[in-house]
Amino acid sequence: MGTIRHSAHWGAFSAEVRDGRVVSVEPFEADPNPTPILQAMPEALYHDCRVAEPMIRKSWLEGGPGSNREARGGEEFVAVSWDRAQDLIAEELTRVKQNHGNTAIFGGSYGWASAGRFHHAKTQLQRFLNCHGGFTAQVHSYSIAAGLAILPHILGDLQSLRGVSSWRDIAENTKLIVAFGGVGTKNAQVEPGGAGEHSTDKWLRRVRTAGVDVVNITPLRDDTPDYLEAQWIAPRPNSDVALMLGLAHTLLVQNLHDPAFLNRYCTGFEQFERYLTGAADDTPKDADWAAAITDIDADTIRDLARRMAANRTMITTSYSLQRGDHGEQTFWMTAVLAAMIGQVGLPGGGFGFGYGSMQGQGNPIEPITAPNLSAGANPTGSFIPVARIADMLLHPGGKYEFNGRTRTYPDTRMIYWCGGNPFHHHQDLNRLINAFRQPETIIVHEPWWTATARHADIVLPATTTLERNDIGSSSRDRYIMAMEQAVEPVGDARNDFDIFSGLAERLGFKETFTEDRTERDWLRHLYDVARQQAAQKQVELPDFDTFWAKGHVEVPEPENAHVAFADFRADPDTNPLKTPSGRIEIFSETIDGFGYDDCPGHPVWLEPVEWLGSDNTERFPLHMMSNQPATRLHAQMDCASVSRDAKIKGREPVAIHPTDATARGLSDGDIARVFNVRGETLAGVVVSDNVRPGVIRLATGAWYDPAVPGKIGTLDKHGNPNVLTIDRGTSKLGQGPISHSTLVEIERYEEDLPEITAFTGPIAKASVS
């Protein structure tokens, strides 16, 4: 067949197809720094763990909804025809709607799904369920839930996430980058919607060539690449707010802050100042106070504060910092610290969130709208915070606080999951297993036999991106990519649009769902709409046929650097923020009015539920950082050799400082048991001085592989850190995940190693019609 142009979250590429099979991929020729993750795609496409045909859990098929729910995750499946599977799903959707209402249907779809903007699983699912009368949805994201909750209150909207100062501005104007959580290139391998150009490494090298100094504040030295020659400051995990407060106190008492900026552009500094100086609680938040919490020398803190005030300084804070207990405070205090320096809105100065957290953050672009399918409006208006799935399932009718309102969990009878893998994303997997036993029916669309599919009742084989046509595009990338179908669907797989079209026909709303458009019709329509929107911003795109024939559209890089908050800085009266005051809210009357003890009216240091500074570290003395992996996107394609080759005896690597390894008799290549009160997992030891003492690093994404499938509390054989993390919210305001607030212990595993079985399908019985 030849060469097919395509794209994915880890970049654009061409696929070589021979005899109807993808045999290799080559990165897009314009990409200066392609990721090796691309090479996993052909292997994953044909892996033995593909779901080959519609499958139904044996007890559910024989006994109906709710049968033997305790067997989920460990019971055999029965293959059925597509017609039978879709008939049963349509009947179940009708039953739940009639008997329990649409809020009893949880439309679970969280994850990176596909880079394609039409075959985007979450959008397809929500569009279908909205046509059916609605569902219970999720809001925010595991990546940045606390940030998404707090930023509208203090800055008015999310432009501090979506419109950060460009790397061009930083390279041209910044003198000092203070990077809380680092500025990595590992996470910059991926971008929602795909990327024609991996530019982060290019810009970071330009930043270094320009002579910009970098301070890397993180327990993990390699959160910032070596070539930046950054100063490494390694505080205790979860103590960054205390460090920021110590810096702020130094700025204040040494008269290095900017009172004029605080008066003109901010509100509420007076209330915060009383807390900072100790006037409110008799505890000054000075450098010595911060040193005791962070384990960073007080003189180091004072020296850094003076450097920040003396230079054009960009403060960056990674997404990871707000994935800890009270994570909202990290983003809030970042904005306050930058406001005290007074450089917000100036070239090269101020603050920004998420640099290095994804490829597109800081990428110089013309801001045009990417092609996107509309999911429509949800008639129920029902939702939960994204990370409160287990709470919802375990406590139907329960009350909880979220962003100023008291809400009630719905009584969930059905989960319909399409795209994503909660057994990767969610915390405390043993609790999640129990939660997944509560609904009467769980339906999953999935290409591979992930743990989520194994814990379902009905599993429908979904196509991967290479088995369908689509358009790849991100609002933070300069390219729009044609994604040509490379091969016919593997096995009996179907794309989500076709699956939902069949269900919509059975339920009587096919025309509403499809709008009488085929796949190609939709691609042309979505592109044409995006083309019209681009024209309104003086960006000219070719017509669809020209675009599809060429395979991509490149939007030129803007000539001028983007400076966040520049208009606000120039005239805050004409260009106010969308906060109640129109200014940066150092003190928020709105949040203060909520009365939350875990998120008061201005940023504060609040002790995490688990951290190295607590008094209860005797049993579990190590802090686990579960960051993103370098060899895959979250859990995607963990089955392929690019990810598996990085494992140790089949287990996910765990990095540990030499001092901690020696104390436990651990050496490189050992298999260790990592454990706490919530669970236990096996990982391969890597001894490294890139982690600070007292910290271990176990990346997310190893497919959950329990020693006894379906059993709560059993050993995970594969190195999944979420058997260890805590399932509770960051605060009543954001209710985000706190995966980075986790204490553990680690010891050598002396028993025979159990076989890895995560990449094999479940037991299947003979097909039935």
| Spatial distance between the Cα atoms of 543 and 48, rounded to a whole number of angstroms | 41
Strands 695-698 and 653-656: antiparallel
| Spatial distance between the Cα atoms of 309 and 300, rounded to a whole number of angstroms | 14
Joined tokens for residue 765: 């019985």
Choosing from 10, 60, 110, 142, the catalytic residue is 110
570: number of Cβ within 10 Å: 10
Which DSSP category does 312 fall into? Answer: -
Strands 414-418 and 441-446: parallel
**In whole angstroms, what separates CA 141 from the centre of its chain?**
6
Choosing from 10, 60, 112, 289, the catalytic residue is 112
Joined tokens for residue 581: 């005051």
Query: Residue holding tokens 């839930």?
Result: 145
3-state secondary structure of 106: strand
Contact between residue 767 and residue 79 where contact means Cβ atoms under 8 Å apart? yes
Query: Residue holding tokens 């909804």?
Result: 65
Residue type, 442: I
Is residue 718 left, alpha or beta, with left meaning phi > 0 and alpha meaning psi from -120 to 50? alpha
Is residue 110 among the annotated active site residues?
yes
Contact between residue 722 and residue 626 where contact means Cβ atoms under 8 Å apart? yes
DSSP 463-512: P-GGGS-EEEE-TTSSEEEEE---SPPSTT-B-HHHHHHHHHHHHT-HHH
Joined tokens for residue 526: 């979505």
Is residue 112 among the annotated active site residues?
yes
DSSP 557-612: PPSS---TTHHHHH-TTTS--SSTTSSEESS-HHHHHHT-TTS-SS------SS-T
What stretch of H or E contains 152?
Answer: helix 145-155
Q: Measured on CA atoms in the order 177, 179, 182, 187, is the torsion positive or negative? A: negative
3-state secondary structure of 441: strand
| Spatial distance between the Cα atoms of 496 and 498, rounded to a whole number of angstroms | 5
CA distances from 295 to 183, 233, 307, 337, 612 (A): 22, 10, 20, 20, 10
| Spatial distance between the Cα atoms of 242 and 295, rounded to a whole number of angstroms | 11
Strands 622-625 and 695-698: parallel
What stretch of H or E contains 747?
Answer: strand 743-748
3-state secondary structure of 725: coil
686: number of Cβ within 10 Å: 19
3-state secondary structure of 217: strand
Torsion of Cα atoms, 561 then 564 then 570 then 576, to 10°: 150
CA distances from 611 to 623, 634, 662, 742 (A): 7, 24, 22, 7
CA distances from 304 to 129, 215, 244, 348, 416 (A): 53, 9, 10, 18, 50
End-to-end CA distance of the chain: 35
| The 3-state secondary structure of 14-40, one letter per residue | EEEEECCEEEEEEECCCCCCCCHHHHH
Q: Residue 718: which of 747, 748, 758 has the closest Cα?
A: 758
Q: Catalytic residue positions?
A: 110, 112
